[in-house]
A and B are shown apart, each in its own frame.
Chain A
Amino acid sequence: MAVVGSNVLMTRTPDAHFLVEGRHAGAKVVVFSPDFSQVSKIADEWVPIHQGQDAAFWMAVGHVILREFYIEKQTAYFESYIKKYSDMPFLVELDHTKKESLKPGKFLRASQLDSTSKIENADWKMFVIDQDSGELAIPYGSVGHRWQKTKGEWNLKQEDSLTGKKISPVLNLDKATNISTKLVDVEFHDFSDFEDNARLSRKVQVFEIMTKDGPRLVTTAFELMLAQYGVSREQGGDYPQNYDDPSLPYTPAWQEKFTGVSADTVIKFAREWAASAISSNGKCSVIIGAGANHWYHNNLIYRAIITPLILCGCVGVSGGGLNHYVGQEKLAPQASWGPIAFGLDWGGPPRLQNAPSFHYVHSDQWRYDTNFTDICAVADESHSMANGHTVDKQAIAVRSGWLPCYPQFNQSNIQIVEDAKSEGAKSDDEIIQSVVKKLKDRKLKFSVEDPNNPESYPRVWYIWRGNAILASAKGHEYFLKHYLGTHNNAISEEMAGDLVKEVTWHDKVETGKMDLIVDLNYRMDSSALYSDIVLPAATYYEKHDLNTTDMHTFIHPLQPAVPPCWESKSDWDIFKGIALHTSELSKKYFEAPIKELVISPLMHDTPAEIAQPSVKDWLKGECEAVPGKTMPIMKVIDRDYANLHNRFTSLGPIVRQNGLSVHGTHYDVDDLYDEYMKSNATKTWNGKTYPAMEEALQACEIILHFAAETNGELAYRAFQAESHKTGIDHTHLAEKNRSVRMTFNDLKAQPRRVLTTPYWTGITNDERTYSSYCQNVEEEIPWRTLTGRQHLYLDHETYRAFGEHLPTYKPRLTMHTARDLEKSSKDSGSLILNYLTPHGKWHIHSTFGDTLRMKTLSRGIEPVWLNDKDADLIGVNDNDWVEVFNDHGVVCTRACVSARIPRGLAFIYHSPERTVSVPKSKERGYKRAGGHNSLTRARLKPLFMIGGYAQFSYAFNYWGPQGVNRDTFVVVKPLDQVEY
């Protein structure tokens, strides 16, 4: 068990005992953490790795495993696993570089060969070579098979989908029969040095294939992996000689300078890792968390770590795999919760967005940002997504249908329809065509293209439960400035003016964009304090609700022990009240239902995820502007605001008509809908009767009745649907539980374990412990990716332009590149430190940390943790007051001086409120100091903006750039006099 960037003992309080107990059952625990964290206490080995450098360590682990367990010696279990469950045997084309050399290209597609170009979805089906025949084969299970008309071919059977013959794919080309291979120079990138990223030329074994466009060189993704990891079979090129070679990636000696951990430690770890995987058939696992996640290059850290897991056959094995301990917000009974939460029972699409993009754009943080290539090395700057300003990439992403944006246009979605109609559009289709034309003619724009246009920016903000203004607001002070137009401590300069091309720049902008902020909350947290209206909400012990997460296989009831205190109400009643008043007001403003045009991105798990085999921009004339193909999906929908309350309190007919689905797997519920009405409360309006959702408890019952996780019949139907897609019968997984029905009263008696469904990839039948992807491995259900396998090679052209098509290492931001301290004073007597905000003890983000009990059990304040020797340098003693600041803002707090914190780091645990014991800042003119997010800013990596391409397609809470905050630098200096 490796624990990376996750302080399980402190932040996973309820489950921590399992980790400790696993150790007594014979598991070895290795903890990777820059500080001696709480979880380090239970480690066999604590590896004090430098913060944010985990990728370097794990790339070297991959190097050792590939060399010793694939090349020097072959491991049957590992090989058979990656042949079947990873993309390693798939064929990749080699493209010519500008020089003499070749570089890795796209997976070879069926569309490129004469013999296969006519098959359905030929752009989305890929090849392997069969070991015995030496012939090309297209295995089942690619995203092309998923969305083709003929169902039943989306599976992981080791068979050629063209002939149905059994195949055994080749990994190493030197093992292939009947093909003649040769060695060619292929270009790889070494990003170790940000200032000078090197191109390496490494010989790779390839062979030639005749395509429609002439002969092309291809190789397996596995051959490219070996070359990328620097594992040579004496074939020549810039390969490291041995483990001790520090100059070339990714040897154990190479990683020392980044991680501060010795090569010997890497080698010993890698050998024990692989050996344990061999003797247990893959029971090695990694718990990974926010400590490794919130870095700019978090994807590379994660990929470096999951690669050894895949190479050792650990993913989809009980007791193995990557356990990602970030986020608990994915709830289990999604299919029935979704319609209620997003109003899908009455229409749609819902308006959802990834918050980091929204806030980066609208809190105007982009204005203080430069070109992203100043912090991110790329392989090919000539690609349209691999250069320029981040906000420009966001604009491209929106118009290409990759990411959502709100507001959507610089005109009202209702007005657009009105205008189109007045100009003669009659049908929905004509309305859409008229809007497309206006967008092309630039008479209409997406709001993101001009974020400071008063027509474009958001005005009203409802905050529900999140501490959106502070705890999750990376760049909090910019929120204060640009959303609220109030006091703030940011002093950074705007830098985007000369850089942006796709969005409009205004030299002067209005601050205080929000006219109204409403906060629905049970705590007077920082966000509530800064809101115009606070709607006091019931706590967990004052209302009916359900509680599930994706990391825990039980469903729990919340029940009122007491009625809501004072004037507070349950969330359900508050929203119901808002719906009621909206309906009443609507009678005045909207006499009849109205139409609006809503855009939504090309969604994952829908046929739209195979919309864009290549990146083309309709605005630049590179392709036609086609909604749902080259631009967002457009839909004209009816809004019946007068009946909003009626709809809110009734389960709508669309559920009955269309059934429910998650991840593109659908089940019918019409009979259950009718059955439900027979024995439960109903509501009749406008002459029709629906299941009632007047009360929170009724909504809970509906969720339980219609979800596959809590209704065995629906789990069975969902597996029937899944079986139809894969051509393999999976219903045995639901057979035993088919008669299970969970009601709220059942949960009251005892929390229940959720049923095994195709929506969650583990198998929990027969009291098995949940481990993700066990269904994929045991049932041969494809991963929802391009090849249907786990991808180590990512062939999207943007990934290749970023040089991230293969697992790689890119350095952290430096103080110089991060530009957090351009204007802040850095006098002697102050320290410059890397600033981290790990998850804290007794807080769930900001909740509970500020209760008097918890403040009493800590320091009465959320302190900044400093290393003792660092503190000595500036004469700071334990419990002294300090100022922590950078260009984004300032925090005034006390120092907690501890030798368990490494030098060069400052911690403020995530996250304090700015309500209790906050002094004024001497550094910023005696204005009130802020909270931990006063020191951060949002930095988006444009790589995560791409879309319409298999797994790189938008899904709420799954895909889109994240608001990372670890690459931050601060100045710390003593605060002699405290003023409140």
Chain B
Amino acid sequence: MPGTDPRRDRFPGYDVTAKRDTPSWNAKTRAVVDERLAIDPEAHRFFDTTEWRTLRALCDRIVPQPADRPGRVSLAAMVDAKAGSGKGDGYRNVKLPPLGAAWRRALAALEAEANARHGHPFSALPATAQDELIEAMRRGDLHDLAWGDMPPDLFFQDRVVPDVVKSYYAHPTAWSEIGFGGPASPRGYVRLGPDRQDPWEAHEDHGDGHARPANERIGR
């Protein structure tokens, strides 16, 4: 339900970036992740102002994040950078235009759908109305002429998921949220069995108060 944060703080006190200066992160990893953390959330070179507004609203619903969250993932800026880079994923369905063009068309189409149904831009709609449009896109049930011959469900599968969803889970904030060990080079792991973890892995909250202090010790 929109408005209820689905995050449960399952790994209280765990911050994967606390391992930055431990043997779990080699120099290349530090450089790569530092660059990602430094992305300017307002940076957009590829999309124009209208597209950017729609894209931000879309990203906020695909992976909702509390507005004032520390370490908030700059999702729309990551999509903008990818669209501007000209680098794809290695395949393109014959029914989709190239990456940047597909995004431009879909953002215009979402805007047209929002205006037609609600008389407002997509970004001005309440979350429930935005979610209805997104779910209709996922099911391929949007038909505004602005989509052209591009199937909305294919756009969702081949562009929204790789460009938005994967970008979020490529960010340390997401790694901490799901208890992922994160970068692990050159140091990997020792304890591999069920319910086993190394001291430098996230500890799950079992209600006994042990997790937070164990997580706060990591990297210190």
Asked if chains A and B come from one complex, the reply is: no
Q: Which residues of B contact A (CB under 8 A)?
A: none
A residues contacting B by CB (< 8 A) are none
